[in-house]
Amino acid sequence: MPLSIRKLHTCTGHNASIYALAHGRSPRHFLTAGGDGWIVEWHIDDPEMGRVVASVDTQIFSLCRLAGTQRLVAGNMNGGIHWIDLEQPDLTRNLHHHKKGIFALLQSGAAVFSAGGDGFLTRWEAAGARSLESLQLSHQSLRCLAHSPERRWLAAGASDHAIYLLNEDTLEVEHTIREAHTNSVFSLAFSPDGRYLVSGGRDAMLRVWDLEQDFEQISAQPAHLFTINDLTFSPDGQLLISASRDRTLKCWDAQTFELLKVVDTLRFGSHPRSVNRLMWTDGVLISGGDDRQAMIWEIISGQ
């Protein structure tokens, strides 16, 4: 599959690593957050100037925007969760909940899920910023979350090397893939059609699990040199993109899981340090890394 890859812009201004990305107020806006505690809004069509819309006093590890609102949820390195109201800042709530860092946040409908370094998964009421229930999945950190709307499943990857599949409504653990990786599971993504779950680990392996064939592992590749920090499927379902501590993005065929292109510093002007997070918005890919930069990419697959 031929690919056209072009870096549209590099967004600079953060004073520390970028660990989190989220959607902005429109499809042409996006948010970055990281080690400096700043949450910065950028516009794809005018990316020279970012605007700090909120800040906290410690490192932000995770971020999500509540759909259809001007409210953000941020998770920090100490287990605190910040419910930020951009229109009415005095309504912002700062709660200490998890005993260790919040590595992932995910909204589904009226609920927000947080994954903590204490091994707990918590369901929150989005409207009231109220904790509804918590479940300890592991005695080690939960590092990532993924959601399959088709199957009503949540997937959680943990530092105990396992992947936990839960019923989104009941939070019952319906399946556990033990020893999914030989080290922490850092990234998860469901394919858009809900058939596959793809996982990336601190072991640098990319693994594909067939959910229609009793979680059979259909592919296992040493995809990067170091930790795979994030995974995302393209909106059209044709591509899988991986981001790694080895400073590269890699593009994979989402049907065959064959490597199509390596996006590196030398050839594409990619991040010179670890690439930590990925997100699609309005047809472009955003990446954020330890170099304190966010990059906007145009990636077009041939027919």
pLDDT digits (tens, 9 = 90+) for 82-141: 999 999 988 899 999 999 999 999 999 999 999 999 999 999 999 999 999 999 999 999
Which CATH number belongs to the domain containing residue 228 in this structure?
2.130.10.10
Is residue 21 within 8 A of residue 278, CB to CB? The reply is yes
Q: Residue 39: enclosing H or E segment and its boundaries?
A: strand 38-43
CA 28 – CA 283 distance, rounded (Å)? 10
Beta bridge pairs of residue 247: none
**Sequence-ordered alpha helix ranges (H) in 187-297:** 265-268
Is the pLDDT confidence value at 148 over 80? yes
* Calpha distance 126→29 (Å, rounded): 22
Tokens 């004073």 belong to residue: 15
Cβ atoms within 10 Å of 114's Cβ, excluding its own: 26
Lowest-confidence pick of 29-33, 48-52, 88-92, 193-197:
88-92
Number of domains, the chain: 1
Average pLDDT, the chain: 96
Domain that holds residue 228: 3-301
What is d(CA 83, CA 74) in angstroms, rounded to the nearest whole number? 7
Does residue 219 have a pLDDT over 60?
yes
Count of positions (residues) in the chain: 303
pLDDT recorded at residue 90: 87
Instruction: Over range 252-278, report the average pLDDT.
Output: 97
The average pLDDT across 161-167 equals 98
The arithmetic mean of pLDDT across residues 218-234, rounded, is 97
Do 155 and 148 meet the contact criterion of CB atoms below 8 Å apart? yes
222 pLDDT more than 90: yes
Confidence of residue 303 (pLDDT cuts 50, 70, 90): low
Share of the chain above pLDDT 70, in %: 100
pLDDT tens digits along 57-84: 999 999 999 999 999 999 999 999 999 9
Please report, as a single letter, which amino acid is at residue 99.
Answer: K
Asked if the model's pLDDT at residue 268 lies above 80, the reply is yes
pLDDT category at 177 given cuts 50, 70, 90 is very high
Report whether pLDDT(14) > 80: yes
**Residue range 290-299: average pLDDT?**
98
Residue 219 and residue 205: Cα distance in Å, rounded?
10
